[in-house]
Homo-oligomer: A and B are copies of this chain.
């Protein structure tokens, strides 16, 4: 790794850690620079602004995750297998870089509106899979967005509570449970 790339990476990691511990608004450029062992001015050699640095970090994870989820579910045929592939992929992403994952999780509401239209999107991947399965008659037809939200919530809320420290350990340890639970949500019978 070149010197410049190393500095940029250090800045990103320092910012990420602080953004999660406090928040983007409450983290100062001075703090980021200190944590990266660099002068404040150096930040602006690599990023046009603090906000852009925050957005860059978010978008990279957001789009990377979306693509990974898309590829993970593709080989599977039936909905049940697709769900398990998606859940496993998601949990592995979370466990691999928990700080980046937590940052993405806690800052969706501030950045989601800035995601370019048509860009890869984790939610759309899940939504499309569910929509397909409804058309194929694998699960009852319902409001797709509602059902997708509930199914996603099974995993995402667990992840959120891990961020809050309500429980510990790898998310990946519970892939089977998450997949079973998400499937159960999607398969709820109409009455």
Tell me the A residues contacting B by CB distance below 8 Å.
23, 25-26, 106, 108-110, 112, 123, 142-143, 145-147, 149-150, 152-158, 160-161, 163-164, 166-167, 174, 176-178, 180-181, 184-185, 187-189, 191
Contact = CB atoms under 8 A, between A and B. Distances in A.
A82 B178 CA distance: 23
A21 to B, nearest CB: 11
A145 to B, nearest CB: 4
A166 B153 contact: no
A106 to B, nearest CB: 6
B146 A158 contact: yes
Given A153-B157, A185-B184, A164 B23 contact: no
A26 B51 CA distance: 13
A154 B185 contact: yes
A188 B186 CA distance: 13
A13 B6 CA distance: 47
Contact of A161 (B149, B181, B191): B149
Contacts of A167: 143, 145-146, 149
A25 to B, nearest CB: 4
B112 A109 contact: no
Nearest to A174: B146
Contacts of A154: 150, 153-154, 185
B146 A157 contact: no
A188 to B, nearest CB: 5
